[in-house]
């Protein structure tokens, strides 16, 4: 098991920024691909970003390219999602996920999930 805990969500005005964190309690994340997904009310969970275990491969959803980045700091055993220029359509519950395989955009690939952190962007 890889217990993941997200934090950093909140209420922000459109155009603002938030930085989400995903911490693994008692486990190192250095061997895992980390993914970020989000789910808005009434919608399916969708891919946001993913980064390989060594940080060499990064994927972004088209909807967040140029606005979100996924820096990785294995030494801190934490993954991050930096969100800039937020829009009202970014409002959702954001989840981090981990897997031992290659970085992927599909939710079904990831074995471990956090409980989510709510991001609300007011227009």
- With tokens 């805990």, the residue in question is 5
A 10 A CB-CB count for 92 gives 22
Q: What is the mean pLDDT of residues 87-100?
A: 96
Give pLDDT tens digits for 16-69.
Answer: 999 999 988 777 788 889 999 999 999 999 999 999 988 889 999 999 999 999
Q: Backbone phi, then psi, for 108, in 5-degree steps?
A: -65, -20
A 10 A CB-CB count for 90 gives 22
**Residue 27 burial (CB < 10 Å; 0-12/13-18/19+)?**
middle
């Amino acid at each position: 098991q890889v217990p993941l805990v997200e934090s950093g969500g909140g209420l922000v005005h459109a155009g603002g920024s938030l930085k989400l964190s995903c911490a693994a309690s008692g486990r190192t994340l250095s061997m895992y691909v980390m993914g970020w997904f989000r789910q808005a009310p009434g919608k399916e969970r969708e891919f946001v970003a993913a980064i390989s275990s060594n940080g060499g491969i990064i994927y972004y959803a088209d909807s967040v390219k140029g606005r979100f980045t996924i820096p990785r700091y294995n030494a801190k055993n934490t993954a991050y999602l930096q969100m800039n220029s937020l829009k009202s359509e970014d409002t959702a519950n954001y989840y981090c996920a981990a897997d031992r395989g290659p970085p992927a955009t599909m939710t079904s690939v990831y074995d471990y999930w956090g409980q989510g952190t709510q991001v609300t962007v007011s227009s």
